[in-house]
Amino acid sequence: MDPFMQAALEEARLGLAEGGIPIGSVIVHKGRIIGRGHNRRIQQGSAIKHGEMDAFENAGRQPASVYREAVLYTTLSPCSMCSGAILLYGIPKVIIGENRTFMGEEELLRSRGVELEVLQDASCVGLMRDFISARPELWNEDIGE
């Protein structure tokens, strides 16, 4: 597996081990991870710390020039909030672990010129499928349902 998607998957597994929703993300600039994170809804009682948002937060304040050369990796198709953050900062490319268990705002992102690559990685799918079947109420809460 791509080492950056591997890092995002490690974040997702770390979240699961903490009792959280297993979604992870890393932001890569010039071949280096500048921010990594995972969903913290359960751990921090957070409504905004999706995996991608946590990665943005942990990357800290970056100049626009960095975001515009960055690639965001996420184990799951990004929801509207995370897609909005991707658009806000002008991230040009997003690598998505899978979109089988949840389809985010891929159409919107593509329509705004963001390049997407969907891996349909079996580990990413398995992690979410198991979590959703074990804790459907937590998953629904996380996607506003």
Q: Tell me the closest approach of the beta carbon of residue 1 to a second copy, in angstroms.
A: 27
6 backbone φψ class: left, alpha, beta (φ>0; ψ -120 to 50): alpha
Contact 118, 99 (CB under 8 A): yes
HSE, side-chain direction, 13 A CA sphere, residue 73? 29
Quick check: 1 binds a second copy (CB under 8 A)?
no
Quick check: 64 binds a second copy (CB under 8 A)?
yes
Q: By rule CB under 8 A, what string of x and - marks binding of each residue 105-144 to a second copy?
A: x--x-------------------------------xx-xx
Contact 9, 123 (CB under 8 A): yes
Quick check: 8 binds a second copy (CB under 8 A)?
no
Catalytic residues: 52
Binding site for a second copy (CB under 8 A): 41, 45-48, 53, 56-57, 59-64, 67, 79-85, 87-90, 105, 108, 140-141, 143-145
